[in-house]
Structure 1
């Protein structure tokens, strides 16, 4: 695992919002379905699916951090929310620190390297196979 200084987009403490389209975009899937998809990706990738954030309140969203621009030109199933940037549109993605108090956010799967993100095509395939 890299140190906090290697992962410059991860806040040193607490929770911060990151603008989509800079370091990454995100796909959010709510509830148990999101957690199931995250765990399935982990099994398929030997335990390193890329960084995945989960929330403990509200819709209990699960945020899959994916490469910038990789969510377009794909057919996403109902219930998926894309966090992207574009003309006249800005999205913000919540990111918790690696340690300390970050509730209600936490890492379901922590980032391992600065450039390792969730593989978008694999995520899309898994979401379409859920059912």
Structure 2
């Protein structure tokens, strides 16, 4: 039996939060995030490049905040549902929170409008 408590939550040195990294929890939160994004996404983008965002999410699936991770995302953020779901992280700094958060990579694909959501650090075993 392998015991690896650091896989459940870890403090992220970059963001200063306690990050949820346990696969079971990430799998439970992801559909909640996906539902919110899909409800606010028309699926017909006006942009021609993929938009990549880092999104911080509470365990209940609600979006805390997000940050554009490429130039196209910064230019077209207003065309995404993220502006209604959370607030932007200004200059990569965010307000500290005591609640553990899950980090996801959200990609709005151009030109087909598909949305890809995955854990920020990937699906770790």
Query: Please, what TM-score do these two structures have when normalized by structure 2?
Result: 0.30
The structure, 1 or 2, with the larger RCO (C-alpha pairs under 8 Å, 6+ apart) is 1
Structure number, greater radius of gyration: 2
TM-score by structure 1 length? 0.30
Kindly indicate which of the two structures has a greater share of residues assigned to helix.
2
